[in-house]
């Protein structure tokens, strides 16, 4: 009886961990903050009001209701591309040779654009 209960507890734990696995990139992310450094290292993330989102699909595709190539907060132009979890990059056909790096930490996704000074956007997980 004790063994059956222990197995049930372990299975329940593993199932809940899988459902709450936030290490995965797949899903929908909503733009929340933008950082553009003025050139002296003092830049900080600023909260923005935007409906822009980005969706990472399990097949390696990424879609957005805004332009992936730039840090715009607009959500009026659909774009798409591919992503690599191996080298943490996003590439879109609309971005002329632009490779966007990303970092994921829990429910936070940061896109890092190739600027001379820091330019990043921060998304939070929706789904």
Q: What is the DSSP string of 106-123?
A: TTEEEEE---SS-EEEEE
Tell me the pLDDT band of 11, cut-offs 50, 70 and 90.
very low
pLDDT average, residue stretch 35-61:
93
Does residue 61 belong to any structural domain of this protein? yes
Beta strands in 48-95 (DSSP E): 53-56, 61-64, 79-84, 89-92
Tell me the pLDDT band of 116, cut-offs 50, 70 and 90.
confident
**Measuring CA to CA, which residue among 71, 120, 69 is closest to residue 95?**
69
Does residue 67 belong to any structural domain of this protein? yes
| pLDDT(32) > 50 | yes
Q: Containing domain of residue 35, as a range?
A: 23-125
pTM of the predicted structure, to 2 decimals:
0.79
CB of 121 within 8 A of CB of 35? yes
| pLDDT(13) > 60 | no
pLDDT at 23: 60
Cα of 88 vs its chain's centroid, Å: 10
pLDDT average, residue stretch 67-82:
94
> The CATH number of the domain where 114 resides is what?
2.40.128.270
Does residue 63 belong to any structural domain of this protein? yes
CB of 79 within 8 A of CB of 54? no
Does residue 95 belong to any structural domain of this protein? yes
Count: domains in the chain: 1
- Burial grade of 110 (CB within 10 A; 0-12, 13-18, 19 or more): middle
pLDDT at 39: 84
């Amino acid at each position: 009886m004790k063994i059956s209960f222990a197995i049930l507890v372990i299975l329940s734990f593993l199932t809940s961990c899988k459902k709450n696995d936030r290490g995965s990139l797949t899903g929908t992310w909503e733009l929340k903050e933008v950082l553009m450094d003025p050139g002296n290292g003092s830049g900080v993330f600023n909260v923005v009001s935007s409906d822009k989102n980005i969706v990472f699909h399990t097949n390696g595709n990424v879609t957005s209701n805004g332009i992936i190539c730039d840090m715009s907060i607009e959500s009026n132009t659909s774009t798409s591309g591919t992503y690599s979890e191996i080298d943490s990059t996003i590439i879109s056909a609309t971005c002329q040779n632009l490779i966007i790096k990303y970092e994921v930490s829990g429910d936070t996704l940061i896109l890092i654009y190739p600027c001379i000074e820091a330019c990043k956007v921060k998304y939070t997980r929706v789904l």
